[in-house]
């Protein structure tokens, strides 16, 4: 696969809030019936009630996020000015987004943006929508590589939006890195994110098959590979199943195919003492540890996320 990439011609990926294409049942009613002259507080209450009726979890929190996105307000402004009157255009934007959220489309997909590690990332159809638990990978690397001024070289396998590599470069100002994704569109999006966040000079993004074709010399490899077993994809929440790219979710028959592919290249990619930090799915810790050890690395620990779930396998290359 071509590992060169192009360093110019990054498309402008600024998202738009387009109207939904219809829908049936209670989800069709979310955001409708908002009368002219309603206040921020009234519309917030009505939107939360519509989302609750559609079976959406945490409807009031989600309604606040819809208001923030539709009105261009900060969360504090939504709280501070509940009596502000809304005009018809603002009503229409809120209603359009609320209908789509009620139909189980993630707000991050509607706006085309997701916050990760305090940074604003643009999403595209080729990228996974980063989840908060993936920040555990960044935390694990920070706890292990203590010298924030060191010129580390990072490799992000399955980079998607570039969130892991970019978050690390933001924390290590003298570091550089490469992000690899099988989807060329994801590599373009990640490169765009790095440029937007002022880190483009220290980050390169290429299309490729995991670590194949790359030279070594990396101080750390990070990865959030697909780890859902193929047979389990249909049972995922609609927000994930219907809106994240399948290749970013499908981990093969047992969910572990990507770890086997990555493990084969780790001894070549990592410097002696180099670190692997890989996200894992629920109940996969023992299996992934076995794969990593069979690949020639020494497993240091398995780090939990904030919910106490085993989330990141940490290993190092001996020597």
Neighbours of 208 (CB within 10 A): 22
Contact 256, 227 (CB under 8 A): yes
- Across the range 42-47, mean pLDDT stands at 94
Of the ranges 17-21, 213-217, 227-231, 293-297, which one carries the lowest mean pLDDT score?
A: 17-21
Burial class, 227, CB count within 10 angstroms (exposed 0-12 / middle 13-18 / buried 19+) = buried
- Token couple for 97: 């987004």
Q: Quickly state the pLDDT bin for 27 (edges 50, 70, 90).
A: very low
User: Tell me, what DSSP letter sits at residue 250?
Assistant: B
What is the rounded distance in angstroms from the CA atom of residue 87 to the CA atom of residue 10? 37
Contact 30, 47 (CB under 8 A): yes
Residue 97 parent element (H or E): helix 88-102
Q: Quickly state the pLDDT bin for 6 (edges 50, 70, 90).
A: very low
| pLDDT of 32 | 53
Q: Do the bridges between strand 119-122 and strand 153-157 make them parallel or antiparallel, or are there none, so unpaired?
A: unpaired
Q: Quickly state the pLDDT bin for 195 (edges 50, 70, 90).
A: very high
- Across the range 265-270, mean pLDDT stands at 97
Q: What percent of the chain has pLDDT over 70?
A: 88
For 58-116, what is each residue's pLDDT tens digit? Answer: 999 999 999 999 999 888 888 888 999 999 999 999 999 999 999 999 999 999 999 99
Residue 241 parent element (H or E): helix 238-241
Contact 226, 21 (CB under 8 A): no
What is the rounded distance in angstroms from the CA atom of residue 104 to the CA atom of residue 237? 9
For 198-228, what is each residue's pLDDT tens digit? Answer: 999 999 999 999 999 899 999 999 999 999 9
| Higher-pLDDT residue of 144, 73 | 144
Question: Angle at which helices 59-71 and 88-102 pack, to 10 degrees?
Answer: 140
52: alpha, beta or left? (left if phi > 0; alpha if psi -120 to 50): alpha
| pLDDT of 73 | 86
* Sequential DSSP letters for 24-80: -GGGGGTT----TT-BHHHHHHHHHHHHHHTT-SSHHHHHHHHHHHHHT--HHHHHH
User: Tell me, what DSSP letter sits at residue 247?
Assistant: G
Mean pLDDT value across the chain: 90
Has residue 20 got a pLDDT over 50?
A: no
Predicted TM-score (pTM) of the model is: 0.87
């Amino acid at each position: 696969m071509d590992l060169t990439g192009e360093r110019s011609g990054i498309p402008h990926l600024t998202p738009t809030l387009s109207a939904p294409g219809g829908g049936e049942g209670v989800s069709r009613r979310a955001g409708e019936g908002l009368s002219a002259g309603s206040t921020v507080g009234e519309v917030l209450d009505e939107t939360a009630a519509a989302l609750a009726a559609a079976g959406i979890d945490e409807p009031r929190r989600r309604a606040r996020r819809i208001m923030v996105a539709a009105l261009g307000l900060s969360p504090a402004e939504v709280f501070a000015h509940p009596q502000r009157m809304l005009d018809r255009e603002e009503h229409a934007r809120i209603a359009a987004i609320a209908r789509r959220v009620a139909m189980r489309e993630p707000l991050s997909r509607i706006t085309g943006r997701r916050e990760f590690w305090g940074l604003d990332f643009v999403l595209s159809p080729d990228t996974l929508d980063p989840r908060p638990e993936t920040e555990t990978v960044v935390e694990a690397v920070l706890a292990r590589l203590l010298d924030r001024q060191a010129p580390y070289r990072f490799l992000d396998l399955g980079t998607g939006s570039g969130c892991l590599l970019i978050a690390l470069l933001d924390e290590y100002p003298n570091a550089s890195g490469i992000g690899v994704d099988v989807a060329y569109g994801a590599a373009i999006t990640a490169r765009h994110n790095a440029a937007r966040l002022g880190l483009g000079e220290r980050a390169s993004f290429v299309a490729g098959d995991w670590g194949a074709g790359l030279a070594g010399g990396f101080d750390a490899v990070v990865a959030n590979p697909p780890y859902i077993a193929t047979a389990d994809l249909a049972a995922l929440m609609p927000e994930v199943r219907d809106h994240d790219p399948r290749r970013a979710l499908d981990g093969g028959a047992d969910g572990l195919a990507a770890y086997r592919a990555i493990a084969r290249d780790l001894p070549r990619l990592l410097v002696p003492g180099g670190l692997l930090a890989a996200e894992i799915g629920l109940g996969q810790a023992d299996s992934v540890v076995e794969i990593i050890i069979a690949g020639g690395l020494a497993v240091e620990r398995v780090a939990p996320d904030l919910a106490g779930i085993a989330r990141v396998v940490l290993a190092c290359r001996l020597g």
